[in-house]
Amino acid sequence: MLYREAGQFKTSYAADMAIFPIRQDRIALIILLLFAFIGIPLLAHFQLWPLGSDYMLRAILIPFLILALAAIGVNILVGYCGQISLGSGAFMAIGAYSAYKFGTGVHIPLEFIGTEIKIAPLPVLPSILLGGLMSAIVGILFGMPSLRIKGLYLAVATLAAQFFFDWVFLRVKWFTNYAPSGSVNAPELSFFGYLVHSPIERYLLCLIFVTLFALIAKNLVRGNIGRQWMAIRDMDIAAELMGIRPLYAKLSAFAVSSFIVGVAGALWAFVYLGSWEPLAFSIDRSLQLLFMVIIGGLGSILGSFLGAAFILILPILLDQVPHALGVPISVETVSLLVFIVTGALICYLLIVEPHGFARLWSIAKEKLRLWPFPY
């Protein structure tokens, strides 16, 4: 009875086209954002349960927000435009290393023409955004094969990008400023003169990025460009006959997706890791993001958050629950159980509910709108 929209009349096109047309959804979103921006920092500041220590912020909430942002980028390409990608980890690495180079200064000697290119170190915020921009440029280049190939062949092409950039960032020492170990340290997180160093501040920084980009992505997929992506996804030939340009639609999807994934990669390196090496963005990261999108729901911004939460929390639950019940279980068994449960759930969802957790949430909301009446 609480989730009923009787009496909520829409008197304008803007009200009818709102992101959340039902009042209860808007209220729930406001409460969720207030809890995320105010409630969680207060709980962490006063060390109240479940944020009695920094573990929840450092190990769960911060990586959850960053991986959810990356999953949104992957969902735009895979879920909304229908272009399969296995190179998301590479685009995260491009965003991370590009942001690192812009943050520490760029020096490109051009000895063959007797000159050089020098860019002074930039602040952290422009570095992160420029890292996303470089990732978008590379995404467009590797998205060009999508104009001729699709399906499994496109997945192999993006997989080639993953292995290529794994090799580049491991072998080309220029990207790591010639560090002997190959590991690099992120610059200080200074935004407009304010130094971000505590876990609460890092959490709020990630939350601001995720909120802004989720809102931008939600409006993009509801607009003209988003409808073009979905038309290309459903049937590209019919979309082209209707006047949609596949070149513009596919490359714009690759650009937007790679930009968001690149920003997430920069945040993952700067905010969460602090010090990293190329193995932090291996093929495992690409598959992890793809699993998030499949489990959470293809073509759903909410599904990106649900998938990220599931993939991140599942190993913790499999590790903590048996110990709480007094069942001895080794670390190796936990890692194997994560693979087994994740794979089984993906197979189950592909058969029973291909749209993932987001569709199950939508069905539950529909039933609440009709409850207690069966019609």
- Confidence (pLDDT) at 177: 87
pLDDT digits (tens, 9 = 90+) for 264-288: 999 999 999 989 988 889 999 999 9
- Confidence (pLDDT) at 77: 95
Percent of the chain with pLDDT over 90: 51
Fold designation for 53-370: ABC transporter involved in vitamin B12 uptake, BtuC (1.10.3470)
- Confidence (pLDDT) at 286: 93
Instruction: Provide the residue ranges of all domains of the chain, joining segments of one domain with +.
Output: 20-52, 53-370
Please state the rounded mean pLDDT for residues 185-205.
Answer: 90
- Please give the angle made by the CA atoms of 195, 197 and 199, to the nearest 5 degrees: 140
- Whether the pTM exceeds 0.75: the reply is yes
107 conformational bin, left if phi > 0, alpha if psi -120 to 50, beta if neither: beta
Question: How far from chain centre, in Å, is Cα 67?
Answer: 5
- Confidence (pLDDT) at 375: 59
- Confidence (pLDDT) at 239: 92
Mind giving me the DSSP string for 296-312?
H-TT-HHHHHHHHHHHH
Please state the rounded mean pLDDT for residues 68-89.
Answer: 94
Q: Which of 131-135, 150-154, 292-296, 305-309 has the lowest mean pLDDT?
A: 150-154
- Confidence (pLDDT) at 1: 62
Considering 16-30, 121-135, 331-345, the range whose residues carry the highest mean pLDDT is: 121-135
pLDDT digits (tens, 9 = 90+) for 234-244: 998 999 999 99
